[in-house]
Chain A
Amino acid sequence: MYNTKIKILNASVRLFNENGIDSVRLQQIADEAEISVGNLAYHYKSKDVLIEAVYERIFEEFHEIFRHYLKRPDLADFDIQISIYYAFFSKNRFYLSEFFKANNTTAPHYLQWQDCTAKMLLQLRSRLQFLVKNNELLPEKEPGQYELLAEQMWMSLVFFIPKSNMIGQQYDEISYKKNIWNLLKPYFGPEGLEEFRAMIVPVLF
């Protein structure tokens, strides 16, 4: 039973990515999941309930990424988190269109998106502070420099895939990660640069 639920949720996310939430019918989801509509209705009584379940799973995945914060005090740890961000944002592309077309800004999932993205920005800021303290990044030359960098990194993590789609550019995990590391590279101190060359460059560049 649990496998069928997962199959339905995966099929829903695939179809939502391709066609948007509004234009997908339950019949299409049932066909994609290779089950009958009756079976689908047994697991999820209506489309609203199904959408609720999809959002709930997405937020669980988002929070799972936050748990990967600073498991190890090195750059490879951040590289792993970027990989997970890529997997998340490339799998759930439909969220952006839904977010921008939402008129009801007090809808629960809208507020949860806001909460998650705010936390994501805080984590990036905090990681930069840690890297400075660990002598991997140079100290701030101007106040607010790293806050600005954290915002740029946040924009790249969230909008790199939609941007690539908009300009018809091919993207993959390597180009996504390179984009983030290129933002960070000019700020490395001698220790950070050494670690970057040893751990990140051989894999990405």
Chain B
Amino acid sequence: MKTRFNMDTKAYDTFLQGLNEQYFVEKRGNQSDFRLYFDDLWLADTAVIDDVHRSHGAWAVDLIFASIHNPLKFIKRHITTHSCPKRAAQQGEFMRRAAAKDQRGTLSVSVNPLQVCKN
């Protein structure tokens, strides 16, 4: 079974407190907050990463489109499911190569823009 992202109990409690608070402190947003719905130009500058993982007793193939400038900005799309891991990996590879075709060459993401602190 794929390990699900698990939020720590204390963090979850704080998160719920934040949700409770929003009805008392938050105000209406602006029209510009909806930019994410139509502003999709950043998708032209994305690296494509294939993700093959076990899901629902089979192997799911997902493609992740991550911005090369900020890898935290990404979208994930489910492509297909196979019961055979080799076929899933092969399909993932083909789909990644097809989706990553770009006249500028293959774009890739680096861990550097994240500025990870290793202390």
Q: Are B4 and A53 in contact (CB under 8 A)?
A: no
Given that A108-B3, A112-B4, A115-B6 are contacting pairs, would A49 and B57 also be in contact in the complex, using a CB cutoff of 8 Å?
yes
**Is A10 in the interface zone, CB < 8 Å from B?**
no
B55 neighbours in A (Cβ, 8 Å): 56
Which of A21-29, A40-48, A178-186 is the interface stretch? Answer: A40-48
**Is A109 in the interface zone, CB < 8 Å from B?**
yes
Which of A88-96, A123-131, A152-160, A196-204 is the interface stretch? Answer: A123-131
Task: Determine chain A's interface SS by DSSP, over half rule.
Answer: helix
Given that A122-B16, A126-B17 are contacting pairs, would A56 and B1 also be in contact in the complex, using a CB cutoff of 8 Å?
yes
**Is A190 in the interface zone, CB < 8 Å from B?**
no
Q: Are B16 and A123 in contact (CB under 8 A)?
A: yes
Interface residues of B in 8-33 (CB under 8 A from A): 9, 12-13, 16-17, 19-20, 23-24
8 contacts across the A-B interface (CB closer than 8 A): A56-B56, A69-B16, A108-B1, A118-B9, A119-B12, A126-B20, A130-B20, A130-B23
Q: Are A52 and B1 in contact (CB under 8 A)?
A: yes
Given that A43-B83, A119-B12, A122-B13 are contacting pairs, would A59 and B4 also be in contact in the complex, using a CB cutoff of 8 Å?
yes
User: How many B residues, CB 8 Å from partner?
Assistant: 19
B2 neighbours in A (Cβ, 8 Å): 56
Given that A5-B56, A49-B57 are contacting pairs, would A133 and B20 also be in contact in the complex, using a CB cutoff of 8 Å?
yes
Q: Are B56 and A57 in contact (CB under 8 A)?
A: yes
B12 neighbours in A (Cβ, 8 Å): 119, 122
**Interface 1/0 per residue, B79-114 and A, CB below 8 Å:** 000010000000000000000000000000000000
